[in-house]
Amino acid sequence: MSVHDASNQQLYHFAEEQATPDPYLTPEYTATHRGKGTSIIIDNGSSYCRMGWAGDEKPAIVFRNAVARSRGKRGESDQVCVGNDISSVEAVRSSLRTQFDRCLVSNYSVQEQLLDYGFAHLGLHRQSAIRHPVVITEPVCNPGYCRGQMSELLFEAYDVPAVAYGVDALFGAHRGSVEQLGRPLEEGLVVSCGHCTCRILPVLQGRLDATHCKRINLGGVNVVAYLNRLLQLSRPPLLPHLTLTRAQEMVHAHCYLATDYSAELQEWGSGSRAGDVRLAQLPYSPSLATPLLVDAAGREAKDRQRRERAREQLLKVNQRKREEKIAEFEEELERLLAVQTEREQLDAEEYSLLLEQAGFPTHEALLSATQAVQSSLETEQQRLASLLQKLSAPDLGSEAVSEEWLQSLRERQKELLEQRRQRRASRQELGKRRSAASQNRMRIISQLAEEAAVGKRSKRSKEDTFGMNDDDWNVYRAISRDTGGSDSEREDIELADIKKVLDKHDPGYMRAQALPTGEVGGGGSVASLYQLPLGIERFR
């Protein structure tokens, strides 16, 4: 991680580096190391593997310690990419495999594939056996089973003449002590911050005190994942663009270790570290990628069409139910009217028998039921007419609003936010002793103190009359720490109401306001919609 500086804010563009396949170093091996028994050094890290020859200043090859398998086409076998043959990690992240479980080697088939890759690119791919001793790193207190499996792999599969194991952190501590102190490390604590774990290794009398080693199951991969999660939660519209690879690049380029975490948070919260904000430009294509602001209108139109189709379908279902009820009421009304017409043709006894068969005790009950059915039929017919009218009318969705009214709300929102920004800037100015606002405040306070002292000496009045004169409140406002008032509850309510209306009628504008377009390299352009500010995330 790099130490932060207070330089002016600059726009950072992602390198988007892709791994290139390693060359086969056969000529170098033939000319320099063949037949000489030079040891091969393997730094078998949980993120990257480094392989080279003893005596060289730097490794001959460095590649990602991972294997990716992708499905082949129909009739073809699956394709396996190893190390730097994986050009884009994000494209195959779901199928990415490594030989490690935390920091221990557990998948020896993957380990063999990676050793094949490394030995081949060192120039040994034409050799029947590896006729060179191997020095390979392993985790602290590596279980005997894991070491035995690794030894078996090296001896049986590659026929190496000898194998030596060591801890990478102790190798580095030994070399650093020799270079800086001129002697090997005798006593000290070696802190190893790895990809998956962190370890504390005590060294006593030049040897590792293995009984007091400590391991924490947190490493660089957790730092990268946490930063990526923070950015995803704070910038939901940019979620598809925030990948672990870009988060790792931001960790290496912008993040630092805070020596005092609480003090650092206070400095950032006070606004004094605004100049240390870093702005990262996410890649985008103006011709192909639809900007977030324009895309919001398209999504709103699709949502409106979907709502209209659902509304029309629901109205048709209700129409069918109303028509079925109307048919039932009409059939019932026709039956009741037919019973009433039989009264004129039948005598009283026969009509009473007909009423009994129809389920009515008296003629008045028949008339009452007929009136109820007629009333229900009219109600259903009115409801059906209203339903047909709704079905023929388009759905406005919500009350129509004018663009002028929405523009006035946008301007009022900007005005309120600008007033808040100015008040906060004034409060920050008062916190500085040499600012004009702070000096003016102290001058007024000193004048009031002199007047109070003169009043006491003259003993003109022993009563506290402050506030009886309107000028006293003008003085209070002049020396008020907020210099212009604090954020009122009325403003909060007004801003919330404006936000609610704009969220409903102009979601694209509110989505653009939520993105980092404004004071931090904004400008409202398409590029600004894809800019990512890094503040306290740099050390969180």
Model confidence at 287, in pLDDT bands (50, 70, 90)?
low
Model confidence at 427, in pLDDT bands (50, 70, 90)?
low
User: Is it the case that residue 152 has pLDDT exceeding 90?
Assistant: yes
133: helix, coil or strand?
Answer: coil
Model confidence at 484, in pLDDT bands (50, 70, 90)?
very low
- As a whole number of angstroms, the distance between CA 276 and CA 256 comes to 12
| From 120-134, 376-390, 448-462, the region with the lowest mean pLDDT | 448-462
pLDDT in tens, 325-357: 898 989 888 888 888 888 878 888 888 888 888
User: Is it the case that residue 533 has pLDDT exceeding 60?
Assistant: yes
Model confidence at 53, in pLDDT bands (50, 70, 90)?
very high
485's CB contacts (< 8 A; 6+ apart) are 423
Contact yes or no for 527/281 (Cβ under 8 A): yes
- As a whole number of angstroms, the distance between CA 354 and CA 364 comes to 14
- As a whole number of angstroms, the distance between CA 49 and CA 118 comes to 9
**Residue 122 carries which DSSP code?**
I
44's CB contacts (< 8 A; 6+ apart) are 65, 105, 136, 137, 138
Nearest to 373 by CA among 341, 406, 333, 405: 333
Token pair listed for 79? 């394709």
Span between the terminal Cα atoms of the chain, in Å? 13
228's CB contacts (< 8 A; 6+ apart) are 242, 243, 244, 247
pLDDT value at position 17?
81
pLDDT value at position 503?
72
pLDDT value at position 463?
56
Q: Which of 315-324, 433-442, 453-462, 504-513 has the highest mean pLDDT?
A: 315-324
361's CB contacts (< 8 A; 6+ apart) are 355
Q: For residue 187, is it left (φ>0), alpha (ψ between -120 and 50) or beta?
A: beta
Output 270 or 504, whichever has higher pLDDT: 270
Contact yes or no for 14/282 (Cβ under 8 A): yes
| From 145-149, 295-299, 303-307, 346-350, the region with the lowest mean pLDDT | 295-299
The arithmetic mean of pLDDT across residues 135-144, rounded, is: 94
pLDDT value at position 512?
53
- As a whole number of angstroms, the distance between CA 299 and CA 98 comes to 41
Q: Look over the chain and give the mean of its residue pLDDT values, rounded to a whole number.
A: 80
pLDDT value at position 340?
84
Dihedral over Cα of 339, 341, 346, 351: its sign:
positive
Token pair listed for 405? 């009214």
Nearest to 129 by CA among 159, 109, 101, 173: 159
**What is the number of other CB atoms lying within 10 angstroms of the CB of residue 171?**
14
Identify residue 21 by its one-letter amino acid code: P
User: Is it the case that residue 197 has pLDDT exceeding 60?
Assistant: yes
pLDDT value at position 291?
45
Model confidence at 26, in pLDDT bands (50, 70, 90)?
confident
User: Is it the case that residue 181 has pLDDT exceeding 50?
Assistant: yes
pLDDT value at position 439?
64
| From 151-165, 366-380, 433-447, the region with the lowest mean pLDDT | 433-447
Identify residue 444 by its one-letter amino acid code: I
pLDDT value at position 235?
85
Query: What is the pTM for the complete model shown?
Result: 0.56
User: Is it the case that residue 284 has pLDDT exceeding 90?
Assistant: no
Token pair listed for 406? 């929405």
pLDDT value at position 178?
93
Contact yes or no for 228/241 (Cβ under 8 A): no
pLDDT value at position 246?
93
User: Is it the case that residue 398 has pLDDT exceeding 90?
Assistant: no
User: Is it the case that residue 453 has pLDDT exceeding 80?
Assistant: no
- As a whole number of angstroms, the distance between CA 225 and CA 46 comes to 16
Output 524 or 84, whichever has higher pLDDT: 84
Dihedral over Cα of 200, 204, 206, 211: its sign:
negative
User: Is it the case that residue 421 has pLDDT exceeding 70?
Assistant: yes
Beta partners for residue 216, in sequence order = 198
Backbone phi, psi, residue 515, to 5°: -90, 165
Output 278 or 482, whichever has higher pLDDT: 278
